[in-house]
Amino acid sequence: MSRRLPLVALVAAACGDDEQDREASAQPQGDELVLTLGTKDFTEAFIVGELYRQALRSQSINVKLRKDIGPTEVIDKELQSGAIDAYPEYLGVAVTVAAGRDDAGGTEEETYALAKEFYASRGQAISEQTAFENVDAIATTQYFAQRRGLATVGDLRALPRFTLGARPEFEQRRQGFAGMRDVYGLENAEFEEIPIGEQYRALDRNEIDAANVFTTDGQLASGSYKVLEDTERVFGFQHVALVIDEDKLKELGGRKFMRTINDVNERLTTSAMIQMNRDVELDGQDPAIVAERFLRTAGLLGGG
């Protein structure tokens, strides 16, 4: 959702960590403090939320998990209001939606640096990014792609018309339908709202021609779908980082707290995330159980 390394903000962050540790050492720990952690409204967000909750709990940090809050447009307001203290965010989305920038950077490092600078300006901090990135993508069935000769998003321009199914907020996003139309000249595209989780069923039933999917979706492992190459990188760079209120971060342990999150993020590879998504989406397993199994195997819960 490879590592995003900060550009300009690296030096300041390094200096701030030591200060956070000194300040946090005087703070009460354990049950006296609670982190209210939010998640967005889809499977991968539930899994990452559970990964963070359980890893932090193993370090005696009390976490209240609020799942299924909504997309960035909704959950960011919850963070700003103080209703939640932290949540995992996709950094390309952070820059274009939360920060409102048209340009999210030409590399993952630039995207990370822009996100870090933006959140710092609001009194918030971010962890290191995950090893995986989960980028929006456009997919069709393999049959449709073969019959129409589709390999890239730009190839859709040759169709007389096509219907793209996606979650509602995707329509107006620069790293979404609006950007696709502008960059690839897709004036032949018709947008249709499809709830997250229903897009593959809609493709299978020929209710839509193409769908917005995520590149770590478990369904893609089936081989039934063709992900069209985004040659212009309209959908940006989408690694995940934990966004957290700086005051809460200091209370919870500063750098020690972030080390727990970063240890999880470092192990979250694309293949691992696809497998966990598949376990939940296709096999019906509980996100909490899937997360615990991953953390134990990675040695992040003790006794693993």
- pLDDT tens digit string along 152-188? 999 999 999 999 999 999 999 888 999 999 999 999 9
Is the Cβ–Cβ distance between 78 and 38 less than 8 Å?
yes
Classify residue 227 as exposed, middle or buried by CB count within 10 Å of its CB (0-12, 13-18, 19+).
middle
* Cα gap 35→91, rounded to integer Å: 21
- pLDDT at position 103 is 86
pTM for the full predicted model: 0.78
Cβ atoms within 10 Å, residue 10 = 14
* Cα gap 33→235, rounded to integer Å: 38
Segment 22-48, tens digit of pLDDT:
333 334 444 468 999 999 999 999 999
Rg of the Cα atoms in the chain: 20
- pLDDT at position 102 is 86
- pLDDT at position 225 is 96
Segment 278-303, tens digit of pLDDT:
999 999 999 999 999 999 999 998 64
Is the Cβ–Cβ distance between 24 and 9 less than 8 Å?
no
Q: Helices 255-267 and 43-57 meet at what angle, rounded to 10?
A: 130
In percent, the amount of the chain with pLDDT more than 90 equals 82
- Would the pLDDT of 18 be above 50? no
What would the two tokens of residue 212 be? 């917005």
Structure confidence at residue 196 as a pLDDT band (50, 70, 90): confident
- pLDDT at position 109 is 96
Which residues touch 254 (CB under 8 Å, ≥6 apart)? 17, 19, 20, 21, 23, 24
With tokens 């009390």, the residue in question is 62
- Would the pLDDT of 3 be above 60? no
User: Pick from 220, 273, 227, 232: which is nearest to 2 by CA?
Assistant: 273
Which residues touch 62 (CB under 8 Å, ≥6 apart)? 30, 31, 33, 34, 35
Which residues touch 66 (CB under 8 Å, ≥6 apart)? 36, 37, 38, 39, 84
- Would the pLDDT of 226 be above 50? yes
